[in-house]
Amino acid sequence: MDVQPVPPDAANDDSLVRDVRRGSPTAFGAMMRRYNRRLYRTARAILKDDSLAEDALQEAYLAAFRHMDEFRGDAALGTWLTRIVVNQALQALRRTRRDRVVVPFEESDAQHEALNVADSPDTGPENMLLRAQTRRLIERNIDALPEGYRTVFVLREVEDLTVEETAAALDIPAATVRTRLFRAKARLRESLAQQMDVATQDAFGFDGERCDRIVRTVLDRIEAGLMHPTGLVPRK
């Protein structure tokens, strides 16, 4: 018999876990909705593929459902679920990219700087298009980060987890989280700056269709007798 949980917006994690253990699919659905975004982004950060991330997330949820009785509350529910999805994503990565090179990470005491990737509050059509293009540019550059940097960046900067929460979710020291985040931001700044330099060189471009249009229009006007090198209108 299904146990009706309290509404998802009012339920805390403990009550959701309790109801899931009692066999409530409604409670598990509420749990998934609560953590879907974080867990999907975590899997996506590791796999760099939307479909693979969805598959890993589904497998992680099935594993979590099967092992819900093993959740003891030593860590937050979100941390426990994140660990499961990380494991599933890494398994998928090993299956699909056996030859992946593991990037070594070194410790550093360098302090990290903030990287502002917030969307503009302006919701006009042009600004919405610009925001979408900027978001895609940032996503491509995040995808280009080494796996360890990328996962830490997504959890800290996109999902806004604390250093301690990220360390617990990835089972790494807090110092390593700080180091990887610092280096991820440095790489992103460098890659974005390079792309901006290239884009700046192409700003107000005159080649292509615009150049052709100007030449065509002027020649048409000359041919029509509206202009003449001597300043005189050609005789008919």
150: closest CA among 62, 63, 49?
A: 49
Q: What is the pLDDT of residue 99?
A: 40
Q: Which two tokens stand for residue 209?
A: 């269709």
pTM, two decimals, is 0.59
Domains 13-96 and 125-201 share a fold: no
Neighbours of 26 (CB within 10 A): 15
CATH class of 13-96: mainly alpha
Q: Could you give the 3-state DSSP secondary structure of residue 23?
A: coil
Q: What is the pLDDT of residue 191?
A: 86
Please, what are the averages of pLDDT over each run of 10 residues along the chain (236 residues)? Answer: 43 88 89 92 89 90 91 90 92 69 40 40 63 79 89 89 91 93 91 77 60 73 61 51
CATH class of 125-201: mainly alpha
Return the residue matching tokens 């989280």. 177
Q: Which two tokens stand for residue 221?
A: 């006007």
Q: What is the pLDDT of residue 18?
A: 92
Q: What is the pLDDT of residue 6?
A: 42
Give the start-to-end residue ranges of the domains of the chain.
13-96, 125-201, 205-236
CB neighbour burial string for 95-123, b if at least 16 within 10 angstroms, e if fewer: eeeeeeeeeeeeeeeeebeebeeeeeeee
